[in-house]
Amino acid sequence: MSVILAIAFIFCIIAGRFFWLQVVSGGQLTLRAADQWNREIPVIASRGAIYDRNGAVLAGNKNTYSVFVRPAAVEDKEYLATVLSGIFGLDKSEVYSDISKSGVSEVTVAKHASENEIQQLISYDFSGVYYSRDNTRVYTYGDALCQVLGFTSTDGSGISGLEKYYNELLSGKNGEILYATDIVGVERENAAVVYSPAEDGASLFLTIDAEIQLAAEQAMRNVYVSSGAKSVSCVVLDPQNFEVLAMVNYPSYNLNDVPRDDMQTLNSLSRNKAVVDIYEPGSTFKVITAAADLEEYLRGNTAAFSPEYVFNSSRTRSVDGTTIKCWSDHKNGKHSNQTLAQALNNSCNPCFTDIALALGTDTFYDYLSAFGFGNVTGIDFSGEAVGMLLPQSLVRNCDLARIGFGQTVAVTQLQLACAVAAAVNGGNYYVPRIAGGIVSADGTKQQFASVLKNKVISEEASELLAKMLEGVVTEGSGKNAYIEGYKVGGKTGTAQKYEDGRIASGKYVSSFVGFFPSDEPRYLALITVDEPQGTYYGSAVAAPVAKEIFEDIIAIKNISPFC
């Protein structure tokens, strides 16, 4: 009986093993067996191109090739190593070592080889040597838009910027060429070749206007050199839908010659500071405080100040034991009485302190939230910063007062540009976009729609504010952005920088946010100049840059004077 049980037990083990091999692992083992008798050459999908809004190529591909060797199928490895090293400029000993490895079915000898090099290779008709197309990315404008476009790895996969964000869409799906071989990997005579075609990636159309981008690039290079700044950045939006028309960060790098061997430099130069870095905005933030006041006044909030209200002429305010000062006297050494429009013209801190305190923390924070502060804008770009906004429960009066004129708050440049755009476009806050649509490999086009996020203020309040900001340019601190015959609005900003929690002596961020035409904005630009040397006021450093960009846009688009 025990013998029968032992035989039955052994039979169960054998049956179980058969079941495991044939049913559970059958598919995997079949593939492993097929892999021993077949070899695949990858067919790389063509990476989708990136275009500007008008069809100009920003990122494309040139025809290059990868070269593979199947060591087991090579008869004279010494001779092959000599030829390969000569054609592709490689070290012969390294090539010989690679193609002499045992237990390796295939090695990659060269990538991004030219068509001429491949023609030389073909003339030798080596057995065991194969080639296939790969992607070599080419960027039309070199360093222009480099932090936005980003770059790819040597294998053609997106590493940063839009190349990374839209990598799956741009990459497509690789195919393969399947060869039947013998057990050692030598291709069998008269064996069938199975070809699986690649599915090319879709192309991407951006909202970027290449002509405006190049004009903004040049303007930012000019101010970078003339001001001796640490860095400069610029965002140009269409305020009617928040499409990004240009985005510049300088210094930059050449996308066709990425400094891959110096990661510290590459990480610094490839940061899209306009989206991923934050800064204290200073007086440009007063646009938001003014917008909140005007909207609350029109809603009947008695705590808000009317456009005709005349603020206290005192040059200082005392809040929680701290003294807030105006940056200067206004007229002949005497701090003047002024309305909200005049306070914007003069960039008077005490007036905006009054507004913030009058509205109160709850109401003011409702507007900060509606204008997108303390949160991401939702732009199609990785790593967007949320900014820095004190928790509402921790805000003291002295904090609220300073937030009112752009201190004790930190924003991204994109956040502020979007907030100001919403304040002057009729009160509509959209989700900003860099990509405008895609075109699949078969030619099917999909346009991305603008998405309205919320209504921040009424059209009436927005119209009043835009008119006041036009006054800043015609008669206030923004005069250096004035263009004869065109209605330009804007606001200057000069903010001290902090290091280790303290004010950094002599370090400022100079900025200007402007838009035109002020009564129906179509173009908005935010300029920031980080640590300019010498003159550091936004009115003197940043406002002229906005004027230069706007004048270029006027010429590019052939825009006639409005007045």
What b-and-e string marks burial along 200-219, b requiring 16 or more CB atoms within 10 Å of the CB? Answer: bbbbbbbbbbbbbbbbbbeb
pLDDT at 182: 52
| Phi, psi at 394, each rounded to 5° | -100, 0
Q: Give the pLDDT of residue 174.
A: 80
Q: Percent of the chain at pLDDT above 90?
A: 71
CB distance 487 to 516 below 8 Å: yes
pLDDT at 284 over 90: yes
DSSP codes of every residue in 238-269: ETTTTEEEEEEEES---GGG--TT-HHHHHHH
The tens digit of pLDDT for each residue in 125-141 reads: 888 888 888 889 999 99
On the question of pLDDT at 333 being above 70, the answer is no
> pLDDT tens for residues 345-393?
999 999 999 999 999 999 999 999 999 999 999 999 999 999 999 999 9
Establish whether 283 is a catalytic residue.
yes
Question: Which residue shows structure tokens 């060869």?
Answer: 179
Residue 332 has pLDDT above 70, yes or no: no
pLDDT in tens, 419-428: 999 999 999 9
Confidence of residue 259 (pLDDT cuts 50, 70, 90): very high
Report CA-CA distances (Å) from 108 to 135, 179, 213, 459: 15, 17, 39, 63
Give the CATH H-level superfamily of domain 210-556: DD-peptidase/beta-lactamase superfamily (3.40.710.10)
Give the residue carrying structure tokens 């300088």: 250
The answer to whether 248 and 216 have CB atoms below 8 angstroms apart is: yes
Phi-psi region of 360 (alpha: psi -120 to 50; beta: other; left: phi over 0): left
Six token digits for residue 49: 């191109």
pLDDT digit string, tens, across residues 159-201: 999 999 999 999 988 887 666 655 444 555 555 556 677 788 9
Contact 161, 150 (CB under 8 A): yes
Residue count (the chain): 563
CA distances from 541 to 84, 260, 533, 534 (A): 57, 34, 10, 10
Please give the Cα distance from 82 to 102 (Å, whole number): 20
Q: Residue 520: which pLDDT band, with cuts at 50, 70 and 90? A: very high
> Is residue 312's pLDDT more than 70?
yes
Contacts of 487 (CB under 8 A, 6+ apart): 470, 516, 517, 518, 519, 562, 563
Q: Which of 171, 283, 510, 511 is catalytic?
A: 283
Over the Cα atoms of the chain, what is R_g? 32
pLDDT per position as a tens digit, 198-234: 788 999 999 999 999 999 999 999 999 999 999 999 9
The mean pLDDT of the chain is 89
Q: Which is more confidently placed, 485 or 20?
A: 485
The H or E element spanning position 54 is none
Domain definitions of the chain by residue range: 56-70+81-88+106-137, 210-556
Closest to 44 (Cα-Cα) out of 132, 150, 137, 169: 132
Q: What is the pLDDT of residues 427-458, one digit of tens each?
A: 999 999 999 999 988 888 999 999 999 999 99
pLDDT confidence band for 499 (50 / 70 / 90)? confident
Sort strands 50-51 and 203-206 into parallel, antiparallel or unpaired: parallel
**pLDDT, mean of residues 311-321:** 90
Please give the backbone phi and psi of residue 239, each rounded to the nearest 5 degrees, phi first: -65, -15
Q: Which of 88-97, 208-217, 512-521 shows the lowest per-residue confidence on average (mean pLDDT)? A: 88-97
Task: Please tell me the predicted confidence (pLDDT) of residue 35.
Answer: 46
pLDDT band at 32 (very low <50, low <70, confident <90, very high): very low
Helix or strand or coil: residue 352? helix
Instruction: Give the pLDDT of residue 11.
Output: 63
Q: Which of 107-121, 340-354, 519-533 has the lowest mean pLDDT?
A: 107-121
Segment 91-102 shows an average pLDDT of 89
Q: What is the mean pLDDT of residues 272-282?
A: 96
For residue 23, the model assigns a pLDDT of 53
